[in-house]
Amino acid sequence: MTTNTALLSNKNAHINSVNGVNVDQINYVIESINADTAFGEFQFRARNCWVSGGLNRSQIKGFHAGGREDGTRSKPFTLDADEPQLVAGNDSAPNSMEYVLHALVSCLTGTLVYHAAVRNITVNSVSSKIEGDMDVRGLLGMADDVRKGFHHVRVIMQVESDAGVETLTELALFSPVYDIVSKSLPVELQIRKA
């Protein structure tokens, strides 16, 4: 069986690293997509199982990338979600809204660092704060005119780099999760009886 290991460039060569990112590997991905766009069609996945009350658990392992099923991950990541005590949970894990904030801020950070690396822009540090406001009347079905999710999200990123704020902002806005949260995306939901 071929694994994605075969897709790694310059395994034994000198690594061209900027901001801790192997830029040759990213350029290899770009060249591979230029040769065949199917290389860039990625699919990520999760399985989730409800435990009880506010607690449920995801397992994350398989994904499709570089024109094939991944063969590099040997075991799944496990992520729990729970609810704070106020809303009848045991607070054993972050809740789903907090996972959205983590997804967004981690994606803005990674995207900024990677795009900077490819442009040979050094980034020394990134520290961020993110907040999401919601009016839970929407979620609870108490007011039809109140949206269910966050109505405002604010992110402040403190970046140490030679590049200016305008350039850094441009780089961060390549973020896929920023795209998902800020723009609409149809979600196909199918519920089946077990």
> Binding residue for a second copy (CB under 8 A) from 13, 49, 144, 145?
49
We find the least distance from the C-beta atom of residue 140 to a second copy, in angstroms, to be 6
Least spacing, CB of residue 120 vs a second copy, in Å = 15
- Among 2, 7, 13, 69, interactor with a second copy by CB under 8 A: 7
Are 107 and 8 spatial neighbours (Cβ–Cβ below 8 Å)?
A: no
| Widest distance between CA atoms in the chain | 61
φ/ψ bin of 167: left (φ > 0), alpha (ψ from -120 to 50), beta (otherwise)? alpha
What is residue 118's three-state secondary structure?
A: helix
Least distance from C-beta 137 to a second copy, angstroms? 5
Binding residues among 105-134 for a second copy as defined by CB under 8 A: 105-111, 113-115, 123-134
Q: Binding marks (x or -) toward a second copy, 60..99, rule CB under 8 A?
A: x--x-xx---x-xx---x-x-x-xxxxxx--x-xxxxxxx
Minimum CB separation of residue 144 from a second copy in Å reads 11
Binding mask 8-27 for a second copy (x = CB under 8 A): x--------x-xxxxx-xx-
Q: Kindly tell me which residue out of 36, 120, 122, 179 binds a second copy, with binding defined by CB under 8 A.
A: 179
Q: Which two tokens stand for residue 113?
A: 């660092």
- Dihedral angle computed from the Cα positions of residues 138, 141, 145 and 148, in that order, rounded to the nearest 10 degrees: 30
How many residues interact with a second copy (rule CB under 8 A)? Answer: 135
Query: What burial letters (b/e) apply to 181-191, b meaning 16+ CB within 10 Å?
Result: beeeeeeeeee
Residue with tokens 């590997």: 25
